[in-house]
């Protein structure tokens, strides 16, 4: 680790571990159990846990001191996300590391004063309202409409795949304020509380069992003061938040590989001088290399952020590698486990506590979540390699 992290970062990590080790074990255990059940839905204990971290000054470690942060770099917040993930605890990443920093870049002074202290205290949780039934990859065709009405806007339409909407306090919402043919030049960005009149949320359960949502707007009223950026100029805030979000994916494959190796070791598959054991060691070794590469891609992004750059193609490389690796590892796990691999999570008979079976169901979803891998390949070709659009 010394080769990629400096002494200052290793000291930070040691301090963080001491702090986490000293937290109330009952709070940590309750939060962990809830988080393992569905990491896409931070709920009551997760919120209590994040508020504890906020109150103790451990949220927003990379935020500038003027916004109440510790003034460290994105590398420390990346390290913190990794440490929390390894302990299977929530990290509030989307809100803290995507919405917060985007607000710092494009929010007004009033918006920063209104939201940043509460985000840093762990009080707010944002859901992202971009995708619609007919606007996913082609987000610039979105149709949910906001029409000017006095000192505010009236919003009508529908979002889909709005993960966390049922537990979030606020929605980061992209809507059409211009003409459809203006495409991304006619899109504005707003913040609205999730409990505002005119919002209805219905669940969608993914094949991994995690919940996401459809969200409907019926004359939702949003004050103009809650528009992020100028009217019709919300696109850069949308893209910036997405790039911040994609950069922090990397922890899951390491955990999934550990489930696989622990199970294989327990079943004696890695023992002895047999052809099967050597073959399996080779496959596991290859996955371990890929897990390290995944970590280094994410660290490269954190380093870019630390140096004041927003990763674009780099974030896409990271997202593809992470998502596809998860699937490869779970495929290997299920091949090894064989028929018993179909025993679902929750059964006492499920090998590896059902984590590989669950991983196989849930990992393909991430070919789509955060922007599909095909679209990431486009971004790598055009923005990364400079090929024509």
Residues that bind ligand FAD (CB under 6 A): 127-131, 136-137, 161-163, 206, 212, 365, 368-369, 371-372, 374-375, 378
Extract the tokens encoding 37.
Answer: 């059940």
Strands of 20-164 (E only): list them.
126-129, 145-149, 152-160
Distance CA 128, CA 133 (A): 15
- Contacts (Cβ under 8 Å, ≥6 apart) of 70: 57, 60, 61, 62, 63, 76
CA distances from 192 to 33, 219, 348 (A): 30, 13, 43
The residue (of 137 and 182) whose beta carbon lies closer to ligand FAD is 137
The residue (of 212 and 261) whose beta carbon lies closer to ligand FAD is 212
What does R_g of the chain's alpha carbons equal in angstroms? 22
Q: How far is the CB of 188 from ligand FAD (least distance, A)?
A: 15
The residue (of 137 and 274) whose beta carbon lies closer to ligand FAD is 137
The residue (of 73 and 163) whose beta carbon lies closer to ligand FAD is 163
Q: How far is the CB of 245 from ligand FAD (least distance, A)?
A: 9
The residue (of 127 and 284) whose beta carbon lies closer to ligand FAD is 127
DSSP 8-state class, residue 8: H
Distance CA 202, CA 114 (A): 29
Distance CA 281, CA 264 (A): 10
The residue (of 116 and 127) whose beta carbon lies closer to ligand FAD is 127
Q: Which residue has the tokens 């996300």?
A: 81
The closest of 211, 191, 206, 201 to 158, measured between CA atoms, is 201
Q: Is 245 a catalytic residue?
A: yes
Query: Which residue is at the shortest CB distance from ligand FAD?
Result: 136
- Contacts (Cβ under 8 Å, ≥6 apart) of 144: 129, 132, 155, 156, 157, 158, 159, 173, 174, 175, 176, 217
Q: How far is the CB of 285 from ligand FAD (least distance, A)?
A: 30
- Contacts (Cβ under 8 Å, ≥6 apart) of 116: 63, 67, 68, 100, 103, 104
Q: How far is the CB of 383 from ligand FAD (least distance, A)?
A: 14
Q: Which of 245, 252, 256, 314 is catalytic?
A: 245
Phi, psi of 240 (to 5 degrees): -60, -45
Q: Which residue has the tokens 């019709």?
A: 232
Phi, psi of 212 (to 5 degrees): -130, -170
Q: How far is the CB of 233 from ligand FAD (least distance, A)?
A: 19
The residue (of 69 and 371) whose beta carbon lies closer to ligand FAD is 371
Q: How far is the CB of 111 from ligand FAD (least distance, A)?
A: 21
Q: How far is the CB of 138 from ligand FAD (least distance, A)?
A: 6
Distance CA 83, CA 214 (A): 32
- 199-205 and 211-223 as β-strands: parallel, antiparallel, unpaired? antiparallel
Q: How far is the CB of 80 from ligand FAD (least distance, A)?
A: 22
Distance CA 143, CA 29 (A): 43
Distance CA 157, CA 144 (A): 4
The residue (of 9 and 212) whose beta carbon lies closer to ligand FAD is 212
Cβ 2 vs Cβ 10: under 8 Å = yes
Catalytically active residues are 245
């Amino acid at each position: 680790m010394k080769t990629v992290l400096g002494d200052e970062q290793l000291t930070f990590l040691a301090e963080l571990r001491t702090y986490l080790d000293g937290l109330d074990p009952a709070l940590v255990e309750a939060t962990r159990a809830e988080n393992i059940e569905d990491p896409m839905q931070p709920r009551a204990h997760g919120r209590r846990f994040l508020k504890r971290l906020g109150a103790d000054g451990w949220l927003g470690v990379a935020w500038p001191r003027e916004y109440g942060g510790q003034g460290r770099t994105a590398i420390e917040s990346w390290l913190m996300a990794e440490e929390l993930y390894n302990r299977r605890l929530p990290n509030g990443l989307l809100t803290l590391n995507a919405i917060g920093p985007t607000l710092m870049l494009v929010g007004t002074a009033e918006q920063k004063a209104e939201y940043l202290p509460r985000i840093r205290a762990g009080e707010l949780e944002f859901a992202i309202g971009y995708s619609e039934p007919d606007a996913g990859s082609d987000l610039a065709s979105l149709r949910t409409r906001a029409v000017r009405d006095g000192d505010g806007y009236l919003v009508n339409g529908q979002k889909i795949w709005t993960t966390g909407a049922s537990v979030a306090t606020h929605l980061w919402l992209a809507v059409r304020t211009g003409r459809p043919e203006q495409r991304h030049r006619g899109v504005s960005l707003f913040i609205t509380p999730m409990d505002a009149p005119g919002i209805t949320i219905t669940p969608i359960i993914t094949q991994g069992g995690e919940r996401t949502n459809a969200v409907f707007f019926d004359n939702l009223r949003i004050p103009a003061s809650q528009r992020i950026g100028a009217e019709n100029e919300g696109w850069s805030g949308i893209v910036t938040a997405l790039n911040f979000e994609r950069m922090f994916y990397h922890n899951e494959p390491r955990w999934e590989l550990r489930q696989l190796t622990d199970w294989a070791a327990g079943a004696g598959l890695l023992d002895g001088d047999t052809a099967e054991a050597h073959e399996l060691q080779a496959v596991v070794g290859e996955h371990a290399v890929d897990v390290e590469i995944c970590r280094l891609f994410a660290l490269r992004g954190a380093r870019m952020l630390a140096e004041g750059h927003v990763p674009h193609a780099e974030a896409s490389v990271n997202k593809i590698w992470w998502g596809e690796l998860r699937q490869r590892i779970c495929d290997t796990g299920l091949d090894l486990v064989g028929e018993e691999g179909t025993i679902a999570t929750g059964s006492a008979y499920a090998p590896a506590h059902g984590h590989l079976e669950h991983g196989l169901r849930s990992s393909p979803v991430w070919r789509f979540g955060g922007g599909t891998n095909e679209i990431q390949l486009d971004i790598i070709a055009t923005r990364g390699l400079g090929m024509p659009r």
